[in-house]
Each structure stands twice: as C-alpha cells, then as structure tokens.
Amino acid sequence: DRELEEANCKFAWLKLACAEDELDSCATLLSELKVLLTKFPSMPPSFERTPNAVAELRLARAIYEFAVIFSIRVKDQDAFERNFFQLKVFYMDTRVAEFHTELELLPPRALDHPCIKYAVELEQSFMEGTYNRLTNGRQAVPHETYLYFMDLLAETIRDEIADCSGQAYDHLPVDDARKMLMFSSEQKLLEYISEIQHEWEVQNHSVLFHMAKVQPRVGIQAHQMIKRSLCYARELERVV
C-alpha cells in the first residue's frame, strides 16, 4: 500500500530528526504524518477491516505516542492534551494493545514497573500532603518526559504554600520562608518574591505578609490551585 509505505518512511525520518534534535523538522514531519493517517481506512471512527488494518493501526498508534512525547519535549501542554486523547482511542477502542492508560485499571503486577510505581507514589504523596517528597521526586524521575510536569507541579505546590503562608503569618525570617517554599538559596526566594509575590516585602531579614492581608480571601484561589495540582498529577499518570 503506497500510503502505508510513505507513512513508514516519513516516520523513520521523524525519529532520525528527533535523535538529531532537529525540532522544527520534527514538527513538520509530524504534521505531514497526521495528514497521511487520515487516508488510512482503518482509522477511527470507521475502523474498516482492510488487509492492512493492523499495520496501519500499529503505525498510527506509534505516531501518536511519539506526538505525545514530542509535545512534552517542546512544553506544549495544549498539544499534549490533543495528542493524548487521540492516542487513547487506539488503546481503549481498537484494543491493539493489552493494557490501559488509567492506573486504576492496571493489574497489580504492573504496579511494580518503575514508571508506574513512580506515578502511584507521587499521587500518594500528594494526597498525604507531603509536598517535600513531591518536589524532591524530580531527582528520581524514571524518564525524562516526567520532568516537564514535575516542574509544573512543583510551581503549583509552591504557590499554594505561599498563599497559605501569607494568611497564616504576619512575617517570617527569610531563611524560614526559604525552607518553607523549598528554595535552594535565598537569592531564588528573593527572585520569586520580586516576580510573583508583589504584595510581600523583605525588610530586616524578614518577609512581611501584611500587604497580602488587605482583603480577606474567600478560598477561590486555593481551590483553583488544588485543581491545577490535581490536573498535573493526572498528566503524569497519562505519560505512564
């Protein structure tokens, strides 16, 4: 089949371009491959049982798996969402593979896999509120694709802690604030305050929160933070 042969050839070029870190070429080839996939009669939603159906579906699945990883590599969260939901069809509807993407549907023996075990332990740490384990977990990721979402999750956790600190304290010594917000240096804390927390002040080696207390909070921002944190935790599950 000409379309199948062309798609296989382009996919080989795509993997080569990725190996050589040619991101622009990767994006172009990926777009061309997605157009080629639309010519496969076995693709959803029709799922026609053609002689090349299995080969077409396997190739399409591999291309969308690559697209998911590539979107993480270029830190394009919207593309990640689109590619993931397109990929999920091949796992859940066509049954080309014998596993599911949702952790709760995995057999017990699969939970011992390092990538899956990491996501499960991360979720447990989040539910327990042991945020230090979440932020320290970046150093132990089982695959580089986890790093993007770990960074987003760490930022969300830090913002949530900062919001609570501003309501719970009038002031804190700079070093205590640094430890609470999990910064490795005082300079990084000061940069965070300058760029993000405009209502905070630093005077006499203390962080002052009085400006953050001008108006009572109603919990909406904290609620949004929690939703974002849960979202990033789910994204890590999807990568598995």
Q: Is residue 87 part of a domain?
A: yes
* Residue pLDDT, tens place only, 194-203: 888 888 888 8
Q: Report pLDDT for 214.
A: 47
pLDDT for 146 beyond 50: yes
Q: How many domains does the chain have?
A: 2
**88 and 125 within one domain:** no
Percentage of the chain modeled with pLDDT above 70: 73
The two structure tokens encoding residue 8: 């296989």
What's phi and psi for 135, nearest 5 deg?
A: -75, -35
How does DSSP assign 12-78, residue by residue?
HHHHHHHHTT-HHHHHHHHHHHHHHHTT-TTSTTT----TTHHHHHHHHHHHHHHHHHHHHHTT-HH
Residues 6 or more apart whose Cβ sits within 8 Å of residue 83: 64, 67, 68, 71
Q: Is residue 224 part of a domain?
A: no
**152 and 64 within one domain:** no
**139 and 89 within one domain:** no
What's phi and psi for 60, nearest 5 deg?
A: -60, -40
Is residue 174 a contact partner of residue 189, using CB atoms and an 8 Å limit? Answer: yes
The pTM score is 0.52
Is residue 32 a contact partner of residue 10, using CB atoms and an 8 Å limit? Answer: yes
* Residue pLDDT, tens place only, 22-76: 999 999 999 999 999 888 888 876 667 788 888 888 899 899 989 998 998 898 9
Distance, in Å, from the CA atom of 195 to the CA atom of 1, rounded to the nearest integer, reads: 56
Q: Which domain holds residue 187?
A: 102-209
Distance, in Å, from the CA atom of 123 to the CA atom of 21, rounded to the nearest integer, reads: 32
